[in-house]
Structure 1
Amino acid sequence: MHNLNLKSKLFVLSTLPMIVIFILSTMILVEIFNKKQNIELTKKHIDNAVIISKFVHLLQLERGLSIELAVDEKSDKKERLTFVKQELEELLKNSTIDSNITLLNQCIEEKNSLDVGSLTINEIEEFYSLKISMLLDIINTIPNSINNLQDRNYIQAYTHLAVMKESLGKTRAILNKSFVKKEFQDDDFVKIRGFLNIYRMAQKRFESTLFKDRDFFYFYKKSLEEDRIKETFEIISFILNNPNNTKVDNLSYVWFEKVTHAIDTLKKVENELFANVKILLEKKQESNFYEMILVLMFLIISTVVIIFQAIIIIREILTSTNSLESNLSKSTSLLEQYKSAVDESAIVSKTDKDGIITYVNEKFCKINGYSESELLGKTHSVVNHPDMPKELFADLWQTIKCLKQPWIGEIKNLKKDGSAYWAKTFIKPILDANGSVIEFIAIRTDITQIVKQKIIFEKIAQTDALTNYANRYKLNSDIDEKHNLSIALFNIDGFRELNDFYGHAFGDCIIKSVADKIYNFISKDERLFFYRLQGDEFALLATEYERDSFIYKCRDILLLIKEDLTIENENIVLSCSCGIAFEDKTSLLPKADMALKIAKQENSDFVVYSDSINLNGKYENNIKCTKKLATALQNKKIVTFYQPIVNNLDLKYEKYESLIRMIDEDGSIISPYFFLDIAKKTKKYFDITKIVIAQSFEMFKDKDVEFSVNLSIMDVLEPKIHDYILMMLEKYDIGSKVVFEIVESEYIENFQTVKNFIDEVKRYGCKIAIDDFGTGYSNFEYLIKLKADYLKIDGSLIKNIDTDENAFLVVSTIVEFSKKLGMKTIAEFVENEAIFKIVKELEIDYSQGYYFSAPREKLVGY
């Protein structure tokens, strides 16, 4: 049935143009046929008017002759009267009008039965005038039955012309009577003046009606300008103005002929008028005929062409319908499957343009806990969660209803049981052909688990793993979101030594304890927020806090940290440095960090940032130093100095340490203290390491003494330096003379890599020394694992060994421990004889310091 309907529709569509053309053509033919009938009807009316006009004209003439005979029986008009009556009967006999034949016959019968001799002149006049008036009334009704304006104007003009003729006819009868009787009544003059006015009025109407028909109007004017017509009106005028003049009697013999000629002239005009109307009607009939033929031909040709085209179209339609229907069936099947797939995998609902729910699928009902009947006819407010901001829904409706664009977003919904779920929602407006919204469809995906995981991940991302307090990421986020901020950074003093001495687990306990102390102290103040940034550094962020109140709060925290702390039965005393800033949020954290660095440098409890303590001056010096370093490297002004290491038993200069120096532009010697940090920041550090290695290997290649080169953990871990050292050891083959001093003050994170390096260079005969031992990350476990050959005791312990009993005890412990491990010891910073004596008493193997020699560009004591 579906297929049949489709074919039927296609057939109707293909034949529709033919039907439209047939209807239009039929309408035009009907119009032409109606026009033809109107023309024929008009022609019939004109024929009737012509016959009645002739009849009226003969009656008018008979009226004049009858009145004259009634006045004067001896008149010579009897034969003429008889002739006129015969013409009337002949006219009636040949007349073709049906509706008025009875009236004319009646008129003839009444006229023939009229005994003129027994009637007065007035009665005769009234009889004829009445019959003429009745006939003229019939003519007056003809224009109203004619549709065409031009035809109607012609007939209307004729009625005016008939009035003119009748006025002259009545005037002829009255004056004819007066001339025969040779007396003029006052009443007759009144009538004549009235008829004359009627004539002139009808004449004006006649002329105004046919003024536009120039040819006929010219004929009419020319006809009325004849002398006899002018004489007729001159006679009337003369009689009206001179009723008692004797000359009036002389006019009686010419009057009847003059006025009859005038009336006959008007009759000629009338005949011409009818002739024009007939010619016009004949042209219209001819035009109407050709129009009908043209429309019929067009209809026949169009019908043939359209039938031919329809046959072709229908044939093509019918041959392709099966394919279309097959594709339609497949598309419908696919569409149903797509709909089924969406319904099975997504939460779907539809609403009308006002947001009233018109459809929900099973998953929508299931996840929300409502039945379909409970949802249909409602709005989605029944499942909207109150937590969702109103602005989101305002934006949603603005997008889908006003902009008519799809909206995508995440919406929290409320189930019937009060629980909530999150849905990724796609809402699309459905438009009609005019682009107006007719409904909305919403497709949702349950993302509740994703949102929960996102919340967990965000919390993890913003939480410090060790302390479970907020971290640096959270701090940066809060600085962006909050206003009127102040901040304090706290850093535990000497934490590196504690961490190294007691181990990392113990250090972690310290960090957690300090974090708990600070948080518990400020947790009840809603304007304060606590963070652990990294290592032993913490931050306190404040909003809407008075400057002095915040500083006092920070002082209280510093005092709190200084209180004794017991961890794993160890009593720990801590101190802390603090940097405080009250700047705008864009520079708040950097300037607090700057204040913290100043506090560290100046050994102050806290420093509040101000422009007066700005490190820009230092940075400016760093920039200058960077330029100097670059220049020195370019000009080969980075040189190696050598300081001897003396055997404490025989005071021989058995070893030398290679120390880097920079020669300034003025020739002054600059210590590495002033440029090594800059070198690390500007990536020139490894260039300097290579220079020290190259110059040292070249200096000692032919000398029978050991020399040591300092390597930082950075150097050891850098692959390029590692390869360069191996290359130099291969090239110079003096590995047995080389001692690599590894700086112990740096924490070794990648311990295995360092150990691998040591094992590798020892295969070349090199020795290892641990530099600056006794400070920083002093860890005896390192000594065992690294298998060092020398232990260089840090100069900060040696230089105070003669005055500081604790330093003496620490150094003696280190020496005793190293002897048990079979390592030689070297004392740095041996500045005077008193220190040297104590060093010897402690049985330290070697001494290095200004007591023997400062670093020199050339070897001292060799």
Structure 2
Amino acid sequence: MESVFKKCIVDARNLTLLYVEDNVGARAGSMLIFEEFFGHVIEAVDGEDGLEKFKQNHVDLIITDINMPILNGLEMAERIRKMSPQTPILILSAYNEAEYFIESIRLGVEGYLLKPVEIGQFMEVLGRVIEKIHLRSEHDKLQTLLTQYVEITDKSAIVSKTDKEGVITYVNDAFCTISGFSRDEVIGEKHSIVSHKDTPQQLFKELWETISSGEMWQGIIKNRCKNGSSYYIKTAIKPIFNPQGEVVEYIALYNDITEVMNPKKQLFDYINSTPEAVVVLLKIEDFSTVEDFYSNDLVDLLEHILGEKLLEGITKECPFGKIYTLGFGEYALAIDKNKCPLSVDMLGQKIKELLKTIEASTIHLNEIEYSASLLASLAYGGKEPYQSAHFGIKKAERAKINFIVATDLILEMQAQAQVNMGIIVAVKKALSSSGIISYFQPIIDNKTRKIAKFESLVRLVDDNHNLWFPSDFLEISKKGRYYTQITQQVLNNSFQALYETEAGITINLSAVDIEEQVTRQKIINLLDLHKEHTHRITFELLEDANVKEFETIKEFIKEVKACGVSIAIDDFGSGYSNFERLLDYEPDIIKIDGSLVKNIATDDYSISIVKTIVSFANEHDIKTVAEFVENEAIFNILKELGVDYSQGYYFSKPKLLEEYKGIVGF
């Protein structure tokens, strides 16, 4: 799946998007996402503006809101369809626009994006649209077919043909993609190979009566993929006649409307039709492990049985009408708050009791017995109850609890998202305006009390000349593409500092940095460019429990040490650091964890650990550095214990490098 997403991102870089949205705030937020994916994004402030910009520019894809002044999104789409029937159009939906779905299907839009735009759903829809764009060239070749194919070909990109007995003679790539069957598997079969058991036989009877009489049949059919999953298609089937007016074959075209018809959409429809809804989301813990361990059939059976148990257990206390099986081990329950007989506390208690009952019970999956453990999130009315419950599940997972009341949690998440967006904007501006700078803190030789090295520490200067610390922006930057750019700027700053001091320069590197090939190459290039100074460079490796490519890190260490660089290990002596990993990295320097140093004057335990580290380091010819040296008492103890270097506010806070000029050892 990851390779599919990467291909989707690469393909999107070659596309021009027309984005039509009249709400300034929504447009600004979405633009931050869209600009990351598409090669070029054209903004339009309403339907009329969008129509004019479509006429003036080459556009590969349109994403539009519906409710807009002057010309709404569907009116604009209809006019664009007349000019360019093949340009993909995606509709932004705020869940409460169900009345527009039929009209948008009639216009042949490619799908829906739910507000606010979520990366997972956006990637999913974008992948399908890009696939349809790729199929456009194949679709053009079909224009040479008989002119009587044109009417129906224009309606959809998923195609099949049968003889007059209903035996499949042709399917296109899109048919194979959506069904999961290859051409060889379906040609020669009837459409019953993809028919779903839930589709009533009366529908097929009416279908055949219509096309046998020479008329075109249109409708919605639920079909079955090869892997057993379901999909919905808006179908048009037309008989093809010979010159004598006799039916010789049938051609069928389909639009994939699964996103409109799936259980989540049904859930949204119910919530949107309810003045205020109570929503319960439930999720099977470690469902990915269940999928890996059991077959698809057993997973489907588990979801079905568990869904029935959940609905049966909860309806004894509260009359939820149905349970929505959302897939991937997730379920939802919803009820009008006015029809819920229980208070939030009482319902929460009943849900917790139900979770215990389910966990204590055994589910029989043919010959296999399974005990389910679930998480539950309750949004008792309030703002956007589904989204609040959804964020509640994520919060419960992080907190390692199985139940949470998530009413109005969306407000908290939106506020945090707004803060995060502001941080990303500040980082983006700082990168483009030399606002990513380095402060330097001296590392003192304990014997001479002179500056031996400087540690390079990243800072951000914003538009208002405020100084931001790493804790203000670095973690958020890791969630986007800016973290690597920050690292590269810090590397540039640090290597430049070699020419402003005779002391060594220490640069922090995380596992994320080293595992990134672009960053590794940047470092090698800098070492080659400044080869006469590499003996003054130390790379300080930040301890990380989530190292993914351990061998890559070992190879990197070996390569840079061959260039004369020293390797230091940060924060050694607490957390997940261990002596085995220390020997794997073969460092030249150990930086003793600050929590041990701060307490060393009052804590015998800290003294014992530091003694052990120093003894180990001396035995293996490794230098030691103590950070967080805040006063003379701590410094004297460290010096007595044989620690080689000290760093902390006792000597200096981090400052710009030029502020140290004139100091001994500079």
TM-score scaled by length of structure 1: 0.38
Q: Which has the larger helix fraction?
A: 1
TM-score scaled by length of structure 2: 0.47
